[in-house]
Structure formats: C-alpha cells, structure tokens
C-alpha cells in the first residue's frame, strides 16, 4: 500500500483531530471531577426567577384587565412551555442551532472538530456551542463573555457547565429554557415576545416559514432584512421545508420592515395600572370590575364617536360602590377615540358648571335659611363685586319668575342659585365644598366670587363623585379606594342627614326637573336615582353625576384642549353615558328610595295663586309651613336691588359710550313705581330701567303715585 502524503489543509485537519483526541483523553479525568464539583441552578429556580417586562393588573375577580411595561432593559412576556410552541419552531431551532441535541451529553465533538477545521481552512471564526452550552452560559454569571468571543479558558468552563447541566436537567427543560432565555431581535427576548412582536401571534401558531425566520435571527439578531431572508430560505431548503424564496422574503419583510408591536392581552385600565403598578410592582389587584370597566369604556367610546361632529373628543367615567367606597370603573378617557390617551380625565380639573348647586341648597336648608318650598325669584339679577358687576343668566336665557327651591334646583336655574348663595354666604359655601373633599379649591372664598354658585371653579370628577356619594350616604363620607381588602375606611359626617335626604329627593324628582328638561330625558331611570347635570361656560365641559341606592356614577364630556363643544349640554353629552351605565348596573338589581331619617317630616304645601301645584313636601322638623306658601314679595316693602347704596360704577372704555347701559332695578317687580334720578322724574315706572350712564354723582329713588319716596340710594359713575 503506497504511502499517502498529506499536504496543506488536510495535514492541518489531521493534526487538529489528533490534538483534540489527545486533549480529550488527557482532560477526561479532570473534566469528570469538574462536572461533579460544578453547581448548577435548578430548572425550577431559573423558571421561577423569570420576570416579564410587563406588570399585570387584575380586577376584583382576579382576571387580568391591563398589562403595563415596567422594565426598559428588554421585552419579555410570560414564560412559554414547550407544549405551547409550534412543533415547526422547535424543529427549526434544533436544525439551525444543534442538530444532534437529543443524542449528545452537552458537548458535540463532531461539531467541535468541524468548527475547528473550518476556522483553520477558511480563516473565519465559527463556534460549536450546543444548546446546552448556550443555556449554561446564560444561567451561570461568570460564563457571560466579556468580549465579542470567549477565550479558551471561558470555553472550557462553558463545556464543564454544559456537561453538569445535562446531569441535572432533562433535555426538554434545557430546550424550554433556551427558547425563553435567548434574544431574537433588538430587545425581544423569549419566543413569546418574538412571535407576538414580529408576527402578531402566539408561538403556538408559528408556521414553518416563520419558524425559520425566527431561528435565523438567533446568530445575528440585528442583521439586515435581506440577509435574514436569504439565510432563512437556505436553512429551510436544507431542512427539506417546502417554502419558496418569495414566501420567505414576504414573511421576513412583514416581520422586520417596521418596528415591532406587541398588542397587550388586556388594556382596559391604563390610568389605574400606572397608579397601582408603580415602584416596580409586578402585579396588583384592584377593586375594578373588568366586565363593568369594559362596558364603560365601550359606552364612552360610542358616545364620543357619535359626538365627533359636534367637536367633542374626550370624556371620562367613574363608578363607585356607595357602601364600601370601592371604585368599580375608572375610565380616564375614551381610549383610542380620545385626543390624548395619556391624560386622566378623572383627575383633570375642569369647570364644575351646575353640579355644585345641590351642596349650596343643602347648606341653606341645613342652616334653616330655606326649605324645599321656599320661594325664590328667577328674575334678572345684578350683584356688585369688588371686580365689577356680576349679572348671572340662565342656561336658556329665560326667566321663570317665582319658583320654589325644589323647582330651582331640579331644573338647574341659575339666578335662584346666586340668590341662595347671597343668603347662605360665600365663605361658608366655599368652606363646605372644601369639607366635602374638593381639594382643588385652594384659594380663599373671595377668589371664586359669587359665580361659584354656577360652578365657575375648577374641580376633579374624582372629587365630584366623592361628594355625590356623600349625599347618597346621608351626609357621611369615607375615602374611596382602588385596592380591595384591608380595614374599612373610617367615615365622617360632612352634611346634615336631614338636609341631605331632602336634596336627594329633589334630585330624583322627575316632575320638578321637567321645567327645564321635560319629562322624557336621559335623567329619567326606571328605578330610583338622583342626578344632576352641569355645563360650563361656552360649552367647554358638561357633566352628569348621580347615584342610586348602591352606586354613584360620574361622567364628564368635553375636550382636553379646552376648546368649546358645539351644541352639547349635559343632557346630550354626558347624560346618555350616565344612563347607559346606570341601566347596566341595575339590569337585574333594584334601587329603592332611601329611608326618611329622623327629624324629617312631610307636610301638605299649597302655593299662593297656584304658581306651582300643591304637593307633599319634606321638611326638617320645625321648618314646615303652617299656611299657604306665599311669594316673599307679596308684603315686602319695595326696595332698589341695584345699584346698592354707595356703589361705584365704572364705564367700560372698550364699549362705545352710546351702547353702555346700567340695569337699575327694584323688587317686587309687580309694583309700578316711578324712577327719580337727582330729583328728576325719568318717565320710567317698570322694575327694570336700562339707564344710559354719564360720569357724576347720583341719588336714585323710587316713588309711589303720591310722590312719596319708597327707597333711595346713592351711587357714582366714573
């Protein structure tokens, strides 16, 4: 047999094989001892230490309702078991990364020799790490490479760790750890994040083509799209997979041509999630009801879509259980239909509109200044303030004349509310609002002025719902909460139970409400409920907040930008949402009127000249009338109500002088009295005299037919 002479690469390869065999023989005993001495983490410990990059919020029934990313170091989803992965993907991973995975013991000698030979002959560095070696490197801290490639010492320790790993872990456990622990593209770590982020599906649904695209990303996660597509196609061909080059290019382009996007499994409560999952918390349980939260979000979104043509973009809804204070629904905005999905409309401050009126009337009734049958004049009013003349108007710019407190509140009349504030006092009312939990009111009473009776102050929907819940609880208040369990929050009294009951009855009165809203409107429920709407200046905000025996629901509709809506009021904007939510809450559950508290009595009320129908009315005991209720102006001495004595009136330089007028007015308006100005008859004998002002000092009187002065004031015009 002739002697065969080996030259060049062949000789080098033979020498390499002999060297490896000698090295293996020499290191065998040492390796065996090292494997026995090497400590490896248990599979269950590695799996238990897995942390997703998303925290999860669970509702009161332990159902996930929102996921929120809390870790920016990588994108990781839930740990994926082998049984939840497509067999095509497992086949591709083994074919691409470690074809003899199930036959070797952690190290593949054939792969080592092949890699060594190719490194020598081609000059290109190529590793021979098995799946077991890669997993060992990931779970062992000191095996992580400090440079682009491991040195010989690290490679040896990696081999030892892989052999030890195979002694303690099952093959299936090693493979499961591998597909979860490796990175695929950018920050995507784990097969679930890669599958959902790049293909929009769970790993169980990966096709053969998609599987080879993912497997091709492992060795070069951030390679160009074209290189990944070519590599995936070549590997698929070697594996005998029927996939065309065009199909592989299409799959790769769909996965890599745009930034990845992982659609959350649950996205119902982003604002609550940011509150409860702060500080690195991985999970939290909230009082929210997932089904109710979903319904509220849908109801809000549907209404906002319908109102889009009226320049409405945003809204918010909150639902709380009266007895426990647990918040059941918290929709800070309309989600995808909102103009700003990150803004929390429940905690944003907006003008309250008429929603503060119930607390004003409650204060007046509690203090004994008024009763539900007291008479107020819904007539033009001018109030002199330190900043100028305040002239309130009703929403529809009409005046109803003589009305009762019940009608004034239920129909949300503005002028009677301002007159009630004049009786109750500005400072006591502002103090009462602060005591009810309106912490947004941080200024002194004079800062808000008399317009606060009509809701000119900025408040939160959260605060408003809390205050109305106090009405539902008969004047008691406790903290509302987003987390279950723990001690029941302590309650405190913030309103008189008798006055609170009377106000609740008024807000539930469909007939009294009809003066402004008619009998058929979204405030009328088929069960007992009390409700109030509000619209701020220029239709920038509208509200609807009310309660049943068990729940309080608050709704705000408007624009986060502060832009006005077009022809949208509380009845047409917020009220339909409120009604939908209330009907959903009471689909099967009744709502009964509250029991009358001690100290509240009923009495038959008749009104003079029948300007309102006779009725049974509620009173704090001792305040009920003993005769027919008469208008407070019947026997009242006529008086000038504007201007008040020693008033200073300043002419507005921005208004043409010929167009300026001062509303001189006396009460009662049914009287016919003559106006006398600086001892000269004006020729006017009606209760309202629109006088053209001129600079100077004046003495103004009203006189009867005999020329006798009934009332006199002095004022100055500058």
Residue 646's pLDDT band (cuts 50, 70, 90): confident
Token output for 555: 């709704």
pLDDT computed for residue 150 by the predictor:
59
Residue 148 or residue 457, greater confidence: 457
CATH of the domain at 676: 2.60.40.10
Cβ neighbour number for residue 351 with a 10 Å cutoff = 23
Residue 633's pLDDT band (cuts 50, 70, 90): very low
Query: Based on the domain organization, do 569 and 699 belong to the same domain?
Result: no
Nearest 5°: the CA angle 163, 169, 173 is 120
Contact 464, 349 (CB under 8 A): no
Query: Based on the domain organization, do 412 and 346 belong to the same domain?
Result: yes
Contact 531, 428 (CB under 8 A): no
C-alpha distance from residue 2 to each of 5, 158 (Å) = 9, 43
Mean pLDDT value across residues 407-415: 91
Mean pLDDT value across residues 538-554: 95
Of 620, 653, 674, which marks where a domain is finished? 620
pLDDT computed for residue 648 by the predictor:
74
Sign of the CA dihedral with 419 first, then 422, 425, and 426 last: positive
Domain annotation covers residue 72: no
Least confident span in 21-25, 167-171, 383-387, 416-420: 21-25
Residue 28's pLDDT band (cuts 50, 70, 90): very low
Domain annotation covers residue 516: yes
Strand 75-76, strand 188-189: pairing: parallel
Alpha helices (H) in 239-333, listed in sequence order: 245-256, 270-276, 290-306
Contact 320, 292 (CB under 8 A): no
Query: Based on the domain organization, do 558 and 494 belong to the same domain?
Result: yes
Query: Based on the domain organization, do 103 and 13 belong to the same domain?
Result: yes
Domain annotation covers residue 501: yes
pLDDT computed for residue 145 by the predictor:
60
pLDDT computed for residue 26 by the predictor:
40
C-alpha distance from residue 77 to each of 70, 189, 193 (Å) = 12, 8, 6
The domain of 701 spans 639-717
Residue whose C-alpha is closest to residue 195's, from 257, 204, 242: 204
Cβ neighbour number for residue 146 with a 10 Å cutoff = 8
Mean pLDDT value across residues 475-494: 92
pLDDT digits (tens, 9 = 90+) for 181-207: 999 998 999 999 999 999 999 999 999
Contact 469, 403 (CB under 8 A): no
Query: Based on the domain organization, do 440 and 512 belong to the same domain?
Result: yes
pLDDT computed for residue 636 by the predictor:
62
Domain annotation covers residue 295: no
Task: Decide if pLDDT at 4 tops 60.
Answer: no
pLDDT computed for residue 662 by the predictor:
81
CA distance 578 to 296: 9
Show Cβ contacts of residue 449 under 8 Å, excluding neighbours closer than 6 positions: 385, 387, 390, 426, 456
Q: Which residue has the tokens 């426990």?
A: 324
Mean pLDDT value across residues 274-283: 88
Mean pLDDT value across residues 557-577: 90
Percent of the chain with pLDDT over 90: 55
Of 129, 158, 181, which marks where a domain is finished? 181
Helix (H) / strand (E) containing 314: strand 314-321
pLDDT computed for residue 12 by the predictor:
47
Domain annotation covers residue 318: no
Contact 710, 699 (CB under 8 A): no
Token output for 300: 């809000």
Mean pLDDT value across residues 443-450: 92
Cβ neighbour number for residue 194 with a 10 Å cutoff = 31
Mean pLDDT value across residues 305-310: 92
- Does residue 663 have a cis peptide bond before it, meaning omega lies within 30 degrees of 0? no
C-alpha distance from residue 98 to each of 102, 182, 211, 238, 361 (Å) = 9, 14, 15, 14, 80
Write the Ramachandran bin of 350: left for phi over 0, alpha for psi from -120 to 50, otherwise beta: beta
Residue whose C-alpha is closest to residue 206's, from 101, 78, 97, 93: 93
Write the Ramachandran bin of 701: left for phi over 0, alpha for psi from -120 to 50, otherwise beta: beta
The values of phi and psi at residue 663, to 5°, are -80, 95
CATH of the domain at 364: 3.40.710.10
Query: Based on the domain organization, do 503 and 541 belong to the same domain?
Result: yes
CA distance 146 to 211: 30
Residue 146's pLDDT band (cuts 50, 70, 90): low
Q: Which residue has the tokens 């502002």?
A: 430
Task: Decide if pLDDT at 120 tops 60.
Answer: no
Of 620, 655, 686, which marks where a domain is finished? 620
pLDDT digits (tens, 9 = 90+) for 605-629: 988 777 788 899 999 999 988 766 7
Query: Based on the domain organization, do 602 and 648 belong to the same domain?
Result: no
pLDDT computed for residue 399 by the predictor:
74
Kindly calculate the radius of gyration of the chain based on its CA atoms and give it in whole angstroms. 39
Average pLDDT, the chain: 86
The values of phi and psi at residue 537, to 5°, are -60, 140
How deeply is 432 buried, as exposed, middle or buried, from its count of CB atoms within 10 A (0-12, 13-18, 19+)?
buried
pLDDT digits (tens, 9 = 90+) for 324-354: 999 999 999 998 888 998 999 999 999 999 9
pLDDT computed for residue 73 by the predictor:
86
Query: Based on the domain organization, do 536 and 611 belong to the same domain?
Result: yes
Domain annotation covers residue 74: no
Query: Based on the domain organization, do 477 and 384 belong to the same domain?
Result: yes
Query: Based on the domain organization, do 690 and 578 belong to the same domain?
Result: no
Kindly report the pTM of this predicted structure.
0.77
pLDDT digits (tens, 9 = 90+) for 366-385: 999 999 999 888 877 766 66
Query: Based on the domain organization, do 429 and 344 belong to the same domain?
Result: yes
pLDDT digits (tens, 9 = 90+) for 234-251: 999 999 888 888 889 999
Nearest 5°: the CA angle 110, 173, 263 is 110
Task: Decide if pLDDT at 564 tops 60.
Answer: yes
Percent of the chain with pLDDT over 70: 85
Residue 634's pLDDT band (cuts 50, 70, 90): very low
Mean pLDDT value across residues 453-463: 95
Q: In what order do the strands lie in the sheet with 680-681?
A: 647-649, 709-717, 696-703, 674-677, 680-681
Task: Decide if pLDDT at 512 tops 50.
Answer: yes
Domain annotation covers residue 188: no
DSSP 644: P
Task: Decide if pLDDT at 283 tops 80.
Answer: yes
Contact 411, 517 (CB under 8 A): yes
Cβ neighbour number for residue 118 with a 10 Å cutoff = 15
Query: Based on the domain organization, do 334 and 476 belong to the same domain?
Result: yes
Domain annotation covers residue 693: yes
How deeply is 148 buried, as exposed, middle or buried, from its count of CB atoms within 10 A (0-12, 13-18, 19+)?
exposed
Least confident span in 90-99, 226-235, 607-616: 607-616
Least confident span in 68-82, 260-274, 376-390: 376-390
Residue 39's pLDDT band (cuts 50, 70, 90): low
Strand 600-605, strand 615-620: pairing: antiparallel
Considering its fold, how many domains does the chain have in total?
A: 3
């Amino acid at each position: 047999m002739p002697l065969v002479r080996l030259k060049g690469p062949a000789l080098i390869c033979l020498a390499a094989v002999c060297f490896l065999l000698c090295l293996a023989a020499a290191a065998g005993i040492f390796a065996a001892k090292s494997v026995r001495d090497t400590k490896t983490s248990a599979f269950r410990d590695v799996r238990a230490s897995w942390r997703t990059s998303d925290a999860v919020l669970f509702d009161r029934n332990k159902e996930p309702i929102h996921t929120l990313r809390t870790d920016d170091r990588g994108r990781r989803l839930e740990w994926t078991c082998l049984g939840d992965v497509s067999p095509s993907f497992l086949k591709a991973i083994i074919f691409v990364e470690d074809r003899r995975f199930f036959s070797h013991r952690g190290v593949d000698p054939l792969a080592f020799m092949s890699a060594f030979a190719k490194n020598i002959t081609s000059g290109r560095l190529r590793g021979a790490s098995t799946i077991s070696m890669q997993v060992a490197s990931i779970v062992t801290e000191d095996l992580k490479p400090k440079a682009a490639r491991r040195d010989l010492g690290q490679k040896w320790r990696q081999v030892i760790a892989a052999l030890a790993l195979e002694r303690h872990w099952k093959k299936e456990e090693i493979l499961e750890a591998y597909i979860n622990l490796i990175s695929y593209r950018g920050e995507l770590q784990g097969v679930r994040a890669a599958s959902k982020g790049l293909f929009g599906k769970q790993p169980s649904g990966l096709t053969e083509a998609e599987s080879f695209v993912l497997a091709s990303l492992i060795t070069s996660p951030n390679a160009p799209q074209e290189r990944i597509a070519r590599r995936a196609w070549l590997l698929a061909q070697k594996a005998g997979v029927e996939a065309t080059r065009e199909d592989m290019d299409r799959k790769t382009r769909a996965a890599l041509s745009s930034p990845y996007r992982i659609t959350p499994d649950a996205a119902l409560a982003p604002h609550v999630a940011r509150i409860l999952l702060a500080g690195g918390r991985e999970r939290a349980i909230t009082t929210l009801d997932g089904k109710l939260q979903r319904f509220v979000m849908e109801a809000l979104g549907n209404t906002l879509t319908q109102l889009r043509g009226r320049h409405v973009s945003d809204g918010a809804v909150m639902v709380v259980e009266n007895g426990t204070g647990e918040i059941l629904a918290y929709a800070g905005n309309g989600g995808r239909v909102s103009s700003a999905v990150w803004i929390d409309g429940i905690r944003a401050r907006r003008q309250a509109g008429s929603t503060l009126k119930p607390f004003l009337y409650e204060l007046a009734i509690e203090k004994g200044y008024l009763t539900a049958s007291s008479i107020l004049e819904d007539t033009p009013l001018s109030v002199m303030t330190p900043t100028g003349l305040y002239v309130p108007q009703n929403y529809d710019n009409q005046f109803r004349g003589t009305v009762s407190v019940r009608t004034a509140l239920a129909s949300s009349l503005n002028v009677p509310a301002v007159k009630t504030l004049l009786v109750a006092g500005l400072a006591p009312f502002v103090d009462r609002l602060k005591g009810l939990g309106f912490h947004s009111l941080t200024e002194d009473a004079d800062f808000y002025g008399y317009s606060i009776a009509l809701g000119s102050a900025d408040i939160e929907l959260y605060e408003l719902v809390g205050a109305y819940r106090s009405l539902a609880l008969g004047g008691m208040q406790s903290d509302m909460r987003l987390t279950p369990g723990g001690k029941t929050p302590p309650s405190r009294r913030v309103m008189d139970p008798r006055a609170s009951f009377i106000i609740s009855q008024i807000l539930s009165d469909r007939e009294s409400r009809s003066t402004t809203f008619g009998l058929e409107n979204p405030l009328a429920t088929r069960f007992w409920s009390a409700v109030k709407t509000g619209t701020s200046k220029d239709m920038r905000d509208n509200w609807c907040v009310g309660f049943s025996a068990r729940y309080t629901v608050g709704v705000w509709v408007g624009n986060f930008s502060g832009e006005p809506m077009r022809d949208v009021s509380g009845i047409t904007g917020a009220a339909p949402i409120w009604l939908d939510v209330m009907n959903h809450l009471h689909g099967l559950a009744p709502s009964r009127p509250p029991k009358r508290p001690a100290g509240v009595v009923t009495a038959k009320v008749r009104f003079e000249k029948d300007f309102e129908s006779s009725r049974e009315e509620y009173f704090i005991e001792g305040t009920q009338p003993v005769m027919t209720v008469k208008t407070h102006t019947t026997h009242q001495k006529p008086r000038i109500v504007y201007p008040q004595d020693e008033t200073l009136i300043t002419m507005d330089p921005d208004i043409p002088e010929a167009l300026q007028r001062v509303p001189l007015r006396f009460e009662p308006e049914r009287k016919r009295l003559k106006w006398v100005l600086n001892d000269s008859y004006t020729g006017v004998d009606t209760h309202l005299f629109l006088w053209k002002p001129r600079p100077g000092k004046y003495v103004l009187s009203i006189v009867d037919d005999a020329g006798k002065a009934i009332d006199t004031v002095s004022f100055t015009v500058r």
